[in-house]
Amino acid sequence: TNVGWSLLTASNKLTFQMGTDNVDRLIATGSTAMSTLIGSWHHVGMSYDGTDVFTGVKLYIDGVAETVSGSQARTSPTNNDLVLDGSVPFNIGYGGIGAMNGAVDQASLYTGVLTEANFLTLTNSGVPLLYADTIQTNLVGFWDLQIQTLDATVVDSVGTNNLTPFS
């Protein structure tokens, strides 16, 4: 089974997982109980440095870095087995070990590793397309999900990475 990449909620915590199956996967979990955030919008994000251990994952809520713990690391990765080229799933809000209970408004994907300062700026600006510096040049995908319907293709505003939603 292709696990791919997922940013989701598992055991009431913001969680990132990636891997090629349910055994060979990296799982990184944040420290904030997501149930404490109910009732208002929050900016969540993750950054990954390309290593195969949970310490290479940074999770952010409202621009503030989470304390991250890990339960697994990739045991037998191969170069480019998880390239974001459409051959493996990329899930936001769902991913085999859990799902978010809520809505996703805007999603963006960048090349390179974003810093805590970058995430705080994105949180405060609200719209990554209006943030013009090095982050803007690294933006490779932006999807405004608020203006989409569940049965339509979600159009990438900056690239050609259109998405097919599922519920």
The dihedral over CA atoms of 117, 144, 68, 29, expressed in degrees to the nearest 10, equals 180
Percentage of the chain exceeding pLDDT 70: 66
What are the pLDDT digits (tens) for 41-100? 888 888 888 777 788 889 999 999 999 998 666 666 555 555 555 566 677 776 666 667
C-alpha–C-alpha distance, residues 135 and 74, integer Å: 28
19 pLDDT above the threshold of 60? yes
Q: How far, CA to CA in Å, does 44 sit from each of 24, 53, 153?
A: 25, 21, 23
Residue 38 one-letter amino acid: I
Answer for the pair 38, 45: CB distance below 8 angstroms, yes or no.
no
